[in-house]
Each structure stands twice: as C-alpha cells, then as structure tokens.
Amino acid sequence: MSRVAVVFTGGTISMVHDPAAGGNVPTLDGAAILARTPGLDAIADVVPIDLSRTPASHFSFPGLFEIAGVIGRAQTDPDVDGVVVVQGTDTIEETAFLWDLVLDRPEPVVVTGAMRTASDPGYDGPQNLRDAVRTAAAPELRGAGVVVVLHGSIDAADAVTKTHASALDTFKSLDTGPLGTVGEGGVVIARSRGPRRRAATDHAAEDVDLITAHVAMDGSLLDAAATRRPSGIVVEATGAGNTSYLLLEAATRAMATGSVVALTTRCASGAASAAYAFRGGGATWVRAGAILCGHLGGPKARVAVAVGLGAGLDRDGLAALLADPPGWGGLA
C-alpha cells in the first residue's frame, strides 16, 4: 500500500461554528480531521504531520517556506510516495504556486482544503482529503509538480484559480482546463502537466505590491506605493494589458527608482500583451520596461516576482520566470 504524508495547517476544513465568537473559528487538529474522514486506510497509509490551525489569509512568505521545508523533508523519506497539504482555500492558488516554484522532487504534492466547515451539513473536507490522498498516491502524478485537488478536479498549481467565493466547484483552470479528475473510482488523467516555472530559493522579497487598474484611474496610488521603493510592483491592467497613461507614467517613475514592474491582466483568464500601442496600451508598457507575465494572474505574478527576486534573478531572469514556458498547459 502507498504511504502518503498529510501536512495539516488549518483552514475551513478545521473550523467549526463558535456561538460566542459569532462565526467559524479554527478548532480541529489533524487527528480530529482524520477521525472525520472514514475510508482513508483503504487508500493509503497516512502519516499525519500536524503543523497549525492557521487561516489561509494569515500566511506569510517565511511561513510558506517553512511549510515548503516540511514538504521537502517528507518527499525525501524513501517510504513516502506523495504529500498532501491541507490548508484554507482563500490563498491556495498562491501557496500551491509558490511551492510549485521552489520544490523539485518527483513525489506528488497535492494541496486541498474545504469550502464548508465541519459544522455544515455539506462538509466537503473528508471527501476532498480522500481524493487528495488518492491523487498523491497515484504514480501518474509523479513529476507533475504541485497540484490542487478539490471537488474531484485535479488542477496544476500555476493554472488554477478560485473563481467563486463559496461554491464547492470554485477551483478551475480557466486557460488550460484541469489535468484530470479523481473520485472513488480512482485518478483519471486528461492531459500531461507540461513545462513548469522554477526558482530555487528559500525566501522571497517581502515588498512586492499588487495594484489593479480601473476606469478613471490616475497614477497617485502607484506613486504612493513607489515612495517605499518596493522591490517590485505588479499591475493588473484592464483587458489585454491596457491602462490610463497616467498609471503608466507613475510606473515609469517607479522603474526609474529601481522597482521592477510586471504587467498582467485583471481578467480571470487570458494574458496581457503588446497588442495595443496607444498611450497606456500594453505595447507602451513594454517599451517603458514593464515585464509581461504570460498567463499568470495578479496574485500568482506577485508570488513569482517575489520568489524570483528572492532567488536573486535579474530583470532577464524575472522575465523568463514570468513568461509561459514553451508548450505551457498544452497551449500553442
């Protein structure tokens, strides 16, 4: 039987309703979650690693690298076939992507959680955990990097997005589609993962800002951010990479003081490009020195810039890291 390490960090899967607090609070440790998950022993031999009961919105870069170390040590155990990380769903698309960037062993790493608490009649934690353990034990996922598994969908960490605040099927890979599905019948792989972005480091730049463009926007918000001289600024542009020319002028001032500026789209899928050449269009951003982010949305692009800077990459190295690898996601 396969052996799977399960790292518990908290999140909705660990929460119950507390009348005194007036809402859901982290309560269940790893043992309590496992006790609510019948049938695991028929899937794999589970090795629990109980780290914390931390809401996903509270994670820091140092904390995520600490978890990366725990994952990496579990992967090097010759008796472990795969690793599951249990966490809150609020930031899974960012945390899973960070681990995908910095971990490089073939043993599968599967990130999962729940959209319903243990107090809810529709508690989805046990099924998601069974599916995640089944995926981590599957030889088909060896070498596929970090994936996210919820509601029976297996999605690559660099492609998945939380598309709805509370729906059970919130996690989707809008540009590429899922890697496959998982359920009681096992794992079904629909497509291979393809090339991945990589950045070998154990820390990230803490001072990378994320700014979203919108209608009637000037450059004051970006100028205010730039007064701190941050290492990097990611701008989520409208459409295919376009903004007010005033925002571009502010970004140009920030780049002149040494900040790296990366440009992506605020759209849920697609990519920013240099297709438009009016003032504030994507082409003028690129000419000013901004780096395009491939199909990485704002939160993932911020993680990539922070990790890349932590790895000591120069501008060319960051541009290579942010760009879609050739053949990424099966896209032409």
Catalytic residue annotation? 12
Amino acid letter, residue 268: A
Tokens coding 14: 């660990």
**Site of tokens 């053949």:** 327
- List the one residue out of 244, 59, 221, 71 whose CA is nearest residue 145: 71
What residue ranges in the chain does DSSP mark as E strands?
3-8, 15-18, 23-26, 45-50, 82-86, 109-112, 146-150, 153-156, 161-162, 171-172, 180-183, 186-189, 208-212, 232-237, 260-265, 291-292
Rounded to an integer, what is the distance from CA 282 to the centroid of its chain? 25
Angle at 165 between CA 20 and CA 148, to 5 degrees: 105
**Site of tokens 């629909």:** 190
Q: How far, in Å, CA of 109 to CA of 81, rounded?
A: 10
Largest CA distance in the chain: 61
